[in-house]
Structure 1
């Protein structure tokens, strides 16, 4: 993702300016003398990556990995549970808001649809199969082969595929965010939706994507004002304290948006209430998080271009670490052990975002598939060959969440996998 490719997942499909050209050949003046031929237009420099959003993606993917590392510690540590609930309140919303922001210009042009297929659709299929094969080989059992029931971290790719296809619709309606919130609230009380495509999560996280579609660059710049950054500190501290208080009083399954209220054993009206409460809390903490992300280039800025790799690959270690019994060591349950596990998770996902790893796994994450598309001579009317690569690449990260709510399934529509989303 640091490299320049056309498979933009989180990036806006920005139109490429067409350079002005002079008339072909020599022009004649009034006196009949030939003028000098117009100089050929120089190539427009590629748009530079914005370090701010690369920083956002890297820091968010680190939170994703740490959240997965904390999952097996939650039963024995209230502190780990509080950190888990705190991070899960905003790390996924932050990814989705950024994904929506970079989907603002999606209109369904051929070049955009091509990138949607190669940058999201194909990696989803590849890693869905890879994760199921990994489960069957390492964990055992006969986990069904299904492309309709996203496994672990792959749900975000499928959700982003659906969300981006709907982007043109949200731009033409008058009140997009309230409408999306209404859809999310209805989904939270609709157990009959079932599991296919992880539709509950797609619909319940939808308001954050739609919100991102309505944002402009100045909105992110306002978050960096000194007064906003100052207010972000008590918001983050307060959120952490509330999470610590809520650990024995609230199920973390609410943060996954995988099931309806009825499936989790609650009265129907708690679904809409929690939808609004979690949207508000997620919005506040996302804003506080974004306010403190550096806007300048840092040592980890380049890693932000590889977050999709870190997101998709770290799940194998997150799953395997539990199946291989790594958490059974006694030292893991000590405070020092929990800090060590957290640091290791951050280090591992950082390595997975580096250039050597990206080069190795590029065929699976960013496949070159010019052979699969018809050549139309131009790329959606923008003057680029269909096979041409776009200059900037702000792929996701993922944003990433991974699996399903912990605990035994108690309802028919309960998720099979015993882990939480990213």
Structure 2
């Protein structure tokens, strides 16, 4: 489990990874769209099921695509232009909107991500520490211990550090994955078993999730603080159970992702923009137009409508035109910002493994 493997040799886009990004992005947008309906059992079951593995899956894929990060000049430039700049834009604008509608945060807390920005901060930290994890003899075991113990102490929400450390094992496992291991998941018996596992887990969530504290799935709160309110031992065992569930469902989902290139591969190349932009749509629909509050009275129909609308929104935000419009904003060249002698000759060449934006 902890054996070190060489990074994938290919530097070309892998349709399998783009397909995985597409499907997990649908889960992200659906999950965020259902947040306002979790008081309803039907919506809550879908929400809990999605949150039990959608971020672990996203993070594991991010770890896999980070294997080639060594901190060279071109990679550092990409980190600045595709993680730091989008983070500052997202956090500044969303926090200003939140302050306008909700009165907080005041003053702005740009180093304490309020919502979407936490994942950008996490990718930045995980990328910078990639060489460390690849150098360790037991990286997976170390990351699991950190994840289990971090809930025992007070960790400030600077750069979403509690979540970064809580979700860390999924990123580290992604670093140790190889194309051969991913291919081994595609065997027919494994796919059948995975479909059963995913279906069975959804049924369990549908039947029992109404009594669960879903905040555990956020990997953020300290064990002994509200709403978790657990003893140290209860917290560690609960976090351990969630890690196991997250890994099982993540690998089950990966087995069902097709390897062949299709329309989902093309859309999956642009999940970066969908991730950054869908939050504005959901936030404004909620705060400015009161859509979610108006729909609550329709019961399960509103949850189904939210899911269908989320799917449509996600697909729209992954269209090529969205990238053309927003790439100058979210992926600026910044040639003026860096010293000229630090601009590599092949700066324009981008690969799946080396581009942070493709880790989303």
Q: 1:378 Cα shift?
A: 6.4
Task: State the SS of the aligned residue for 2:340.
Answer: coil
Partner of 1:267: 231
129 and 377 in structure 1: CA distance in 2 versus 1, 3 angstrom threshold: closer
Task: State the SS of the aligned residue for 1:392.
Answer: coil
Equivalent position to 2:205, from 236, 243, 256: 243
Equivalent position to 1:205, from 158, 167, 178: 167
What is the alpha-carbon distance in structure 2 between the residues aligned to residue 84 and residue 255 of structure 1? 10
Q: Is the 8 A contact 1:74 1:81 kept in 2?
A: yes
Deviations 1:34-58 (A, max 9, x none): xxxxxxxxxxxxx542111111111
Task: State the SS of the aligned residue for 1:322.
Answer: helix
Partner of 1:341: 306
Partner of 1:119: 82
Q: Is the 8 A contact 2:61 2:359 kept in 1?
A: no
User: Where is the helix percentage greater, Structure 1 or Structure 2?
Assistant: 2
What is the alpha-carbon distance in structure 2 between the residues aligned to residue 316 and residue 253 of structure 1? 23
Deviations 1:61-81 (A, max 9, x none): 111111111111111x21211
Q: Is the 8 A contact 1:332 1:338 kept in 2?
A: no
Task: State the SS of the aligned residue for 2:34.
Answer: helix
Q: 1:214 Cα shift?
A: 0.6
1:225 aligns with 2:184: no
What is the alpha-carbon distance in structure 2 between the residues aligned to residue 14 and residue 365 of structure 1? 28
Structure 2 counterparts to residues 33-182 of structure 1, below 5 A: 48-75=12-39, 77-140=40-103, 143-182=106-145
Equivalent position to 1:319, from 273, 283, 308: 283
What is the alpha-carbon distance in structure 2 between the residues aligned to residue 398 and residue 339 of structure 1? 29
Q: 1:336 Cα shift?
A: 2.8
Q: Is the 8 A contact 1:310 1:353 kept in 2?
A: yes
Partner of 1:360: 325
Q: 1:239 Cα shift?
A: 1.1
Unmatched runs of 5 consecutive residues or more in structure 2: 1-5
Q: 1:275 Cα shift?
A: 2.0
Q: 1:392 Cα shift?
A: 2.9
What is the alpha-carbon distance in structure 1 between the residues aligned to residue 197 and residue 9 of structure 2? 38
What is the alpha-carbon distance in structure 2 between the residues aligned to residue 132 and residue 68 of structure 1? 17
Q: 1:114 Cα shift?
A: 1.4
1:370 aligns with 2:329: no
Task: State the SS of the aligned residue for 2:211.
Answer: coil
Partner of 2:270: 306
What is the alpha-carbon distance in structure 2 between the residues aligned to residue 389 and residue 330 of structure 1? 47
Q: 1:92 Cα shift?
A: 0.3
15 and 226 in structure 1: CA distance in 2 versus 1, 3 angstrom threshold: closer
332 and 315 in structure 1: CA distance in 2 versus 1, 3 angstrom threshold: farther
Q: 1:178 Cα shift?
A: 0.7
Q: 1:204 Cα shift?
A: 0.3
Task: State the SS of the aligned residue for 1:193.
Answer: coil
Partner of 1:256: 218
Task: State the SS of the aligned residue for 1:134.
Answer: helix
Partner of 2:3: none
Q: Which 10-residue stretch deviates more, 249-258 or 368-377?
A: 368-377
141 and 87 in structure 1: CA distance in 2 versus 1, 3 angstrom threshold: closer
378 and 64 in structure 1: CA distance in 2 versus 1, 3 angstrom threshold: closer
Partner of 2:245: 281
What is the alpha-carbon distance in structure 1 between the residues aligned to residue 250 and residue 9 of structure 2? 29
Task: State the SS of the aligned residue for 1:346.
Answer: helix
What is the alpha-carbon distance in structure 2 between the residues aligned to residue 303 and residue 236 of structure 1? 24
1:295 aligns with 2:254: no
Q: Is the 8 A contact 2:8 2:178 kept in 1?
A: no
What is the alpha-carbon distance in structure 2 between the residues aligned to residue 344 and residue 334 of structure 1? 16
Question: RMSD of aligned C-alpha atoms?
Answer: 2.2
1:194 aligns with 2:133: no
Partner of 1:390: 349
What is the alpha-carbon distance in structure 1 between the residues aligned to residue 235 and residue 76 of structure 2? 34
Partner of 2:148: 185
